[in-house]
């Protein structure tokens, strides 16, 4: 079984990356793991041309198919997203928008292999859980259109810096134990 863990932040070395690393370690004994950072890929914004609604293909040529290939290979997908103004970072939102050719919102559409399970970890710097819940809703909505079953989530508040993750590692490892 393969697990894909996605750093939805453009920051490759911050708190989100540290959480991704902790999840990768937590799943390593049970899964063949791979982690990616959304910022490692080059892609443009959706132009809204809707060509994909009739062709199931995007007119833009960039790295989006490479990311979707990683989705297709995985059995479990874990998106780890920080809060950028109470939702996912713009880079990850741009990725979601560009996945329209693979989403079930129109026919024909491309698809990834069925039967995947999706998990979400949301983090924010403030103390309230409301922003984490909003991020989870965004990611789970995205999962739904790709036919990925949303199977669980973890919200982490008061996490701003990499050092803030250390005292939360047991909580993150506990979440990893629920990933099946």
Band of the pLDDT at 105, cuts 50, 70, 90?
very high
Alpha helices of 74-129 — where are they, by DSSP H?
A: 90-98
Domain span at 52 = 2-178
Mean pLDDT on 140-156:
98
The per-residue pLDDT for 44 is: 97
User: Total domain count for the chain?
Assistant: 1
The predicted-structure confidence for 53-88, as pLDDT tens digits, reads as follows 999 999 999 999 999 999 999 999 999 999 999 999
Model pTM?
0.97
Q: What is the CATH number of the domain that holds 107?
A: 3.40.50.360
The predicted-structure confidence for 107-136, as pLDDT tens digits, reads as follows 999 999 999 999 999 999 999 999 999 999
DSSP 104: T
Whether a cis peptide bond, with omega within 30° of 0, leads into 108 is: yes
């Amino acid at each position: 079984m393969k697990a894909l863990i996605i750093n939805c932040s453009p920051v490759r070395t911050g708190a989100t990356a540290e959480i991704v690393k902790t999840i990768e370690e937590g799943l390593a004994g049970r899964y063949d793991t791979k982690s990616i950072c959304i910022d490692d890929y080059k892609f443009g914004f959706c132009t809204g041309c809707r060509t994909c609604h009739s062709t199931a293909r995007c007119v833009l040529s960039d790295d989006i198919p490479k990311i979707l290939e990683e989705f297709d290979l995985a059995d479990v997908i874990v998106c780890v997203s920080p809060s950028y103004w109470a939702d996912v970072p713009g880079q990850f939102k741009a990725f979601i928008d560009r996945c329209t050719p693979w989403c079930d919102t129109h026919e024909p559409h491309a698809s990834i292999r069925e039967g995947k399970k999706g998990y979400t970890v949301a983090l924010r710097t403030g103390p309230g859980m409301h922003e984490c819940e909003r991020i989870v809703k965004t990611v789970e909505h995205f999962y739904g259109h790709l036919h990925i079953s949303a199977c669980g989530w973890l919200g982490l508040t008061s996490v701003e810096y990499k050092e803030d993750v250390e005292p939360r590692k047991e909580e993150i490892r506990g979440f990893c134990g629920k990933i099946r």
